[in-house]
Structure 1
C-alpha cells in the first residue's frame, strides 16, 4: 500500500515575516504557479479543487494588481498579510500533493475538513487583499503610516487617511488595530467635518463587530468609545450605527461590560434612541437593561441611561413597558440621589410620563413623587430641572388630593411667585398657569402679591402661545383679595401698561385680557382704584371700546361709572 507524502511544513512565521515584501511576493507567486498546475491533476475531491482553483485565479489577478501599484512595497500591512498568505498556499500545496496521489493518511473526512479550512483561509486572504487594493493606499508614497491630516487639508487627503485607517483596522493584527483606533479617536476629536467624512467612508459594520465580547479588551474599549462619539455626532452616524446592528451589542455591554465600557455604551444608546425610529427597537431587547443601569450604574452611566429611558418614554406604544418593568420608582429616586444632569433627565422623563396617562400619574404619586419633585424645585440650580419638575407637578395637580397638597404649601406658592418675577419665560408661563389652576388661600395670595406687576407685563407677550392666557388667569385669581387690588393700582407702571393695552390703536394685545383684569380690579368697588384708573385715562379707552362693541368693555365701563355715581350720591346725601 503506497504511503502518502508528508505535507510540506511552511517556514516558521518569524522567518517569513523577516523577509521583505518583494521577496515574499516572489515566493508566493512561485507556490501559486505550482498550485494552479497541480489543481488540474488532482484525482480526489475534484469539485472542491475547482472552487479552490477559481480562488487561486482571483489571487493571481490581485497579486498582479498589487505589483503594479507604485508603492506597494512600502505598505506595512503586507508585512503581516504576505507571510500568512504564503503559509496558506504552502498548506494547499501539501494537500494537492496528497489529492494527486489519492492517498490520505488521516482518511477522507479529515482531508475534506483540511481542504475546507484551507479554502476558507484563502477566501479570508483574498478579502483582505481586495480591501487593500480598493482603499487606494498602495498608490501613496507615504503608505507606510499615513499621518493625521493637518487642519485645512483637502477632502481627498482626509478620505484617503480614513480608508487607510479602516483598512489597517480590518487587515492588521492587534497592534495595527490598536493604532488604527487611536488614530480614529484622534480624528473624531478634531472637528465635525472629519466626523462627517468618517460616517461616509468608514466601515461601521466592522467597527461594530469589535464591540463583541470576543474582541481583545483594549480594542473593544477603544471601539466602544469610537461608536459613542460617532453616535453623538450626527443623525447620519446614528442611523448607520443602528442599521449596522449596533444597538444590540451596546445594550449587552451596558448589561455585562466593565464600568468604562458601560459608560460609553450608555452615551451611544442615549444618542441612538433620540431618533424615534431607533427608539422603537428598544422593545425588542427590553427596557430592563436601561432600568438596571439607572439603579446600579456609575454616575455617568445613570445620566445617559435615564436619558435613554426619557427617549423611550416618548414612544406611546412602548411606554407602558416602563411601568410594567418598574422604571418609575428608579426614576423618582434619581430626583434626590442623582447628579444635576441625572436629575434634569429624570424630571424630564417623569414630566413625559405624567402627561401621558392616569396610570403613570398614579405610579408617580404612589412613589412619593410629589414631595421629591417639590424638593428638586427648591434645591435645584438648573432651570431645565425646575421646568420639568413644574410640568410634572402641573400634570399631577389634576388629582384632587395633589391639588390640595400643593395649594396649601406656602413655600411652594412663594416659589411660583419668584419664578414669575425672576424666571425665564418658560418658567413664568408654567408657574402662572399652575397658579391659575390652584385654590390657594387669601393669605398665600397676599404673600405673592408682588408678582402681579410681572404678570401684567407678561400680558404684553403674545409668545409663547398661551402665556397671555396664563398670566391673566393668575392675576385675576390674585385680585380676589382686596389688598392685592389696591397694591396693583398703586403701581404706576402696571396701571399705565393696562391702560395702554386698552387703547384701541394697540393691536398687539387682545382687548379681552386688560378688560378681564380691569373688571377684577373694579369688582371690589374701591373708589381709590377707580380714581387711579380714571386718572390714567382708562375711561376714554373703555368708552371707545364700548362704542366698538368689544366684548367686556361695556361691563368694565359700567363698573367704573357705577363707582363714580356711588361717590357722587354719597356726597349729596351727606350735604
Structure 2
C-alpha cells in the first residue's frame, strides 16, 4: 500500500506545472535507454522477450532523439510522456538486473512482468507518435541524425535506420517524405543497409502501408524503396510476407505515373520467381498491366516495365490464355511498332514468349500480321537499334521456322534481302544471329537454297569462313555445306577462281578433328560431283604434309572412293605400280593433311580420294 501511495504522489508531482522545471531532459532519458539496451545484451535468459524489448527501446530512442533539441518547458505534453518513459525504463532496468543475476522468483512471473513492460513501451511509442502527428513537435524541433560515413560500424548504421523508421512513423508529411528520400539514398548506395532493414522487419510493413498513402510523393518514394529491396533474391520472401503485392497493384490502378513506374519495376523483379506469379493474378494485376499496355496514355518507361511483368506472368499457361482472351496479341503487336526501344524490346520478347511451344497462339500472331511487323523492324532504312533488330530476328526464328508455309510468308515480305544485308553489314551480335537464321533457312527446303544462292549468300558465307570467331566460321561452313548440295550453287561457288584454293588452305589451317574441318571437307566432296569443281581441285596448289593423328573424315573419303572406283580403276593401278602423276601427288599430299593418316597408309587412301577427282578424265 505504501508503494502504491508513493507512485500516486509521483504521478501528481509529474502532472503539476511546477514540476517541469525539475524534470529530466530528453538527453537523460536517451542515456537511460541506451544504458538499458547495453545491459540487456548481458542477459542469457528469456532471449526472445529481451530481443523484443530491445527493439521497442531502439524505436523509443529514435523517437526521443528526433526531438532532442525541443525545449521541454514549451511542451508539457512531451514532458509527461518523458516522465512515463523514464519510469518504465527504470522498472525494466530492475527486471534486467534480476535476469542478469538470475535472482528473479519464478520464470512464469518474470515472463508476465516482461509482457507488461512490452505493453507499456508500446503505449509510450503510440503516445510519442500522437504528439508528432498532433504537430506538438514539428520539423523545426527535430534533430537530424547524421548519416554514418563510409566504413561506419554496423551499430551506427542500424541506429541511423532506426531514426529514419521513427521519422516515417511519427513525423508529419514533410518529415516522412524527407526520411523516405534519405532511406532511398542509403539503400541504393550500400547493400548493408538493405540487410539491416530486413532484419528490423517493421520497416518493410511500414513501406507497404505508405503505398496506400494519399500523398503521391510518399507513395512514390515507398515504391522506389520496395523496388530496391526486391532486387535481392534473398529478401523477396520478406516483401511477400509483408503483403506488398496488393498495394503495389493498387498503385498500378490509381497511383501517379511515377508511382506506377516504381510499382511495375518492383513487380517485374518479384515475378522473376514464378512462385509469386499467382499472387499478382489473384489481386487483379494482369488486368491492370494490360490496361497500361493497351491504353496509349502512358510514357514508354511505364509501358516497357508493364510489358516486362506480363512477359514473366506468361510462363503460366492459364494466365497466358487469359491475356490472349483479353486482346494481348493485338496490343503487343501495336507496341512492337513503337519508337521507344524499351517498349519495342519488351513487347517483342512477350510475343516470342507466348508463341513458344504453342501452335494455336503462333497462328494467331501470324494472322494478325506479326511477321510483317517483325520484318519491318529489320528494314535497313529504318532507325531501329541493333538491340531491337536482334530481338526481332530471334522472334522471327521462333515464329516462322516451324513450317514451310510460314517460311514462305516470311520470304514474301522481303526477308531474304534484309537477312543478306545484316550478314554483310550487321553489328557482331546481329550478324551472328543473321548467320544462324541463314543456316536454318537454307536447311528448310531446296527452293530456299536456290533462292539464297541467287540472292548472293555464297560470297558472304565464304567471307565469314575467315572470321575470328570459331563459332562463326563453323556456322558459315555448315551453312555453305548445305547450300552446295544444290547443283546451281556448286557452279556459283566454283565460278570464282580463288574459292577452291581458299577452301583447301582453310582445310590445311584447321587443327584436329574439328567440326569446321568436317564441313569444309563436306563442301569439297560436294564439289567433286561438278566437272569444273574437280578440275579446279586438281589444278590447285600442293599442300604440305602433316603427321597428325587420324580423324573421322577418312570414312567420307573412302565412301567417295567406292562410288568412283570403277571409273578410276586404271589410274589406281598406275599409282599402285608407282606411276604417280604430279597432279595426283599434290592431291594425295592434300588428302594426307585432311585425313591425318601416317605415311605408310598414304598411297591407298590417296588413290581412293583421287578416284573421286579424276572420274572426268
Query: Fold-level match, TM-score > 0.5?
Result: yes
Report SS of the residue matched to 1:356.
coil
Name the residue aligned to 1:406. 410
8 Å CA contact retained: 1:348, 1:388: yes
Aligned to 1:216: 215
Q: Does the 8 A contact of 1:336 with 1:343 survive in 2?
A: yes
Distance 1:322 1:521, change over 3 A: farther
Distance 1:72 1:331, change over 3 A: closer
Shift in CA distance, 282/494, structure 1 to aligned 2, threshold 3 Å: farther
Query: Which secondary structure state, in structure 2, belongs to the residue aligned with residue 281 of structure 1?
Result: helix
The one-character-per-residue Cα deviations of 1:460-512 (angstroms, maximum 9, x if unpaired) are 8369xxx94685145422562144322677245444223444xxx61343754
State the match for 2:170 in structure 1.
171
1:445 is matched with which residue? 453
Match of 2:254 in 1: 256
State the distance in 2 between where 1:488 and 1:21 align: 106
Aligned ranges for residues 288-307 of structure 1 at < 5 Å?
A: 288-296=287-295, 297-307=298-308
* Partner in structure 2 of residue 161 of structure 1: 160
Whole-Å Cα distance in 2 between the matches of residues 305 and 20 of structure 1? Answer: 60
Query: Which structure 2 residues correspond to residues 53-68 of structure 1 after superposition, within 5 A?
Result: none
Q: Is 1:535–2:541 an aligned residue pair?
A: yes
Q: Kindly tell me: are residues 499 and 319 of structure 1, through their superposed partners in 2, closer, same or farther at Cα, counting changes over 3 Å?
A: farther
Q: Which residue of 2 aligns with 1:207?
A: 207
User: Corresponding residue for 2:436?
Assistant: 430
Distance change (3 Å), C-alpha of 1:520 and 1:264:
same
1:95-174 to 2 correspondences below 5 Å = 125-128=123-126, 144-174=143-173
**2:398 equivalent to 1:395:** yes
**CA 1:154–1:533 in structure 2 vs 1: closer, same or farther (change >3 Å)?**
farther
Alpha-carbon deviation of 1:333?
Answer: 0.9
Alpha-carbon distance, 1:75 to partner: 3.9
Correspondence 1:154-553 to 2 at 5 A: 154-201=153-200, 203-212=203-212, 214-231=213-230, 233-286=231-284, 287-296=286-295, 297-378=298-379, 379=382, 381-397=384-400, 398-409=402-413, 411-421=414-424, 422-424=426-428, 426-428=432-434, 430-438=436-444, 439-440=447-448, 442-446=450-454, 447-457=456-466, 461=470, 468=474, 472-473=478-479, 475-477=481-483, 480=486, 481-486=489-494, 490-491=498-499, 492-501=501-510, 506-509=512-515, 512-527=518-533, 530-531=536-537, 535=541, 537=543, 550-553=554-557
CA displacement 1:507-561 (0-9 Å, x = unmatched): 34375433322223333232466426853549x89x9969x77442324556763
Shift of 1:191: 4.0
Corresponding residue for 2:138? none
Q: 1:507 to 1:128 in 2, by over 3 A?
A: farther
1:145 shift after superposition: 1.9
**TM-score normalised according to structure 2 size:** 0.64
Distance 1:437 1:346, change over 3 A: farther
Distance 1:82 1:256 in 2: 42
Distance 1:509 1:527, change over 3 A: closer
Superposition deviation, residue 355 in structure 1: 1.8
| TM-score, scaled relative to structure 1 | 0.68
Paired with 2:22 and 2:370, the residues of 1 have a C-alpha distance of 69
Question: What is the total number of aligned residue pairs between the two structures?
Answer: 462
> Aligned partners of 1:563, 1:476: CA distance in 2, in Å?
20
Cα pair distance change 1:303/1:204, threshold 3 Å: same
Aligned-residue offset at 1:317: 5.0
Unaligned runs of 5+ in 2: 1-16, 30-52, 85-118, 130-141, 565-608
RMSD: 4.3
Residue 362 of structure 1: CA displacement? 1.2
Cα distance in 2 between the residues matched to 1:471 and 1:280? 47
SS in 1 for 2:179: helix
Indicate which of 64, 71, 76 corresponds to 2:67.
76
Cα shift at 1:412: 2.1
Deviation readout 1:421-465 (Å, 9 max, x if unpaired): 5443551553234323444263542322222125535798369xx
CA separation of 1:73/1:469 partners in 2, compared to 1, >3 Å: closer, same or farther?
Answer: closer
Residues 1:350 and 1:522: Cα distance change in structure 2 (over 3 Å): farther
Check the 8 A contact 1:162/1:201 in 2, yes or no.
no
